[in-house]
């Protein structure tokens, strides 16, 4: 297999694009694709103040790397959740993130949930019984809240996350197989800034396969945490990823087509906007000021402040 651009030995073959590339051209191609998505979905410009949520994994660290490569200046945000199993998942992931920031001379905000609020997310999940066995719903809630808080307090206009195409299609598949209308309507590469002061949220890697992101991190020599979050094992989203991987093997391009045809159908007006009326009914939380559906405390503050 030869590189389509230069004829040298290819290091990756992307069947869905009918494209094989050598290391040099692949390491140019990925940032080009990301820049294309940034422009196509009007995610941000060089004038925006960017904050990347970094977890120490391949996607978020590579995104940070790609942004630098593209000439965007972006700061990082690491949220220490206190996931402390046998491998000390949170400690390790912070270590990878901190080292990357230091080596690249990048500004990193670190929030430690336990230091800030007195409890790790696993402890909160146990106390509130929200997670039963797993703290995943608490984790999502805490991350959303803290990303918004730090972005707001530091005047970032755009929040970036490292969701890749496999993440997005797994979420989309879960929303579709259960026809969760409200989630389908809101799934997008860009969530616009909210009137109540939330930064715009964007996913610049949304068109890049997970496999390509892993190859990018490897070829760029980025050191990242290889372990998955211990709570993600046996999760529905991993089950859906496997199902979509099988589909992709049989029908190369199926994942990309699933995602892009969804975005196209949405843009063409498939969904009724009437379903989204509750967006107008958001209130500011009386404690933190972040949007919530009912007057009073938001779900995050109910969880922490009411203790």
Q: Which helix (H) or strand (E) holds 190?
A: strand 190-191
Interaction between residue 181 and its own copies (CB under 8 A): yes
Residues 142, 112: Cα–Cα separation, whole Å = 11
Measured from the Cβ of residue 105, the count of other Cβ atoms closer than 10 Å reads 7
Told to check if 278 binds its own copies by CB under 8 A, we report: no
Q: Are strands 19-21 and 12-14 parallel, antiparallel or unpaired?
A: antiparallel
Tokens of 93: 């992931």
Region near its own copies per CB under 8 A, out of 69-77, 102-110, 242-250, 292-300? 242-250
- Nearer to its own copies by Cβ, of 196 and 254: the residue is 254
Taking CB under 8 A as the rule, does residue 238 contact its own copies?
Answer: no
In whole angstroms, how large is the CA radius of gyration of the chain? 20
176 near its own copies (CB under 8 A): yes
Cβ-based nearer residue to its own copies, 219 or 247: 247
The contact mask relative to its own copies for 184-223 (x = CB under 8 A, - = no) is xx--------------------------------------
249 binds its own copies (CB under 8 A): no
CB atoms within 10 A of CB 167: 19
* Cα–Cα distance measured from residue 142 to residue 114, given in angstroms and rounded to the nearest whole number: 12
Of the pair 163, 255, the CB lying nearest its own copies is at 255
Instruction: Single out the residue of 13, 42, 275, 293 in contact with its own copies (rule: CB under 8 A).
Output: 275
Of the candidate spans 131-139, 200-208, 244-252, 287-295, the one that interacts with its own copies by CB under 8 A turns out to be 244-252
Residues 19, 110, 171, 254: which binds its own copies (CB under 8 A)? 254
Q: Which two tokens stand for residue 59?
A: 């996607």
Cβ pair 76, 44 in contact under 8 A: no
| Smallest distance, its own copies to C-beta of residue 267, A | 11
DSSP 194: P
- 157, 187, 155, 201: which is closest to 265 by C-alpha? 187
The binding site for its own copies (CB under 8 A) comprises: 176-181, 184-185, 239, 243, 246-247, 250, 254, 257-258, 261-262, 264-265, 268-275
């Amino acid at each position: 297999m030869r590189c389509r651009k230069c004829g040298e030995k290819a290091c990756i073959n992307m069947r869905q694009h009918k494209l094989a590339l050598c290391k040099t051209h692949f390491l140019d191609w990925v940032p080009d694709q990301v820049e294309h998505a940034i422009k196509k979905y009007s995610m941000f410009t060089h004038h925006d103040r960017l904050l990347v949520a970094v977890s120490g994994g391949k996607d978020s660290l590579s995104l940070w790397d790609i942004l630098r490569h593209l000439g965007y200046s972006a700061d990082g945000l690491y949220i220490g959740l206190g996931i402390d199993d046998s491998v000390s998942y949170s400690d390790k992931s912070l270590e990878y993130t901190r080292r990357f920031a230091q080596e690249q001379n990048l500004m990193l905000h670190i929030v430690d949930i336990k230091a800030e609020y007195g409890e790790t997310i696993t402890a909160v999940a146990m106390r509130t019984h929200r997670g039963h066995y797993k703290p995943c719903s608490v984790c999502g809630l805490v991350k959303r809240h803290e990303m918004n808080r730090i972005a707001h307090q530091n005047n970032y206009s755009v929040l970036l996350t490292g969701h890749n195409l496999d993440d997005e299609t797994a979420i989309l598949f879960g929303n579709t197989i259960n026809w969760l209308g409200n989630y389908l309507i809101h799934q997008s590469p860009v969530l616009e800034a909210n009137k109540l002061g939330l930064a715009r949220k964007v996913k610049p890697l949304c068109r890049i396969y997970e496999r390509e992101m892993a190859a990018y991190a490897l070829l760029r020599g980025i050191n990242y945490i290889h372990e998955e979050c211990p709570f993600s094992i046996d999760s529905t989203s991993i089950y859906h990823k496997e199902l979509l991987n099988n589909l992709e093997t049989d029908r190369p391009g199926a994942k990309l087509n699933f995602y892009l045809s969804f975005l196209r159908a949405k843009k063409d007006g498939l969904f009724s906007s009437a379903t989204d009326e509750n967006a107008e009914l958001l209130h500011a939380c009386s404690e933190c000021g972040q949007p919530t559906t009912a007057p009073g405390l938001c779900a995050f503050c109910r969880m922490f402040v009411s203790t």
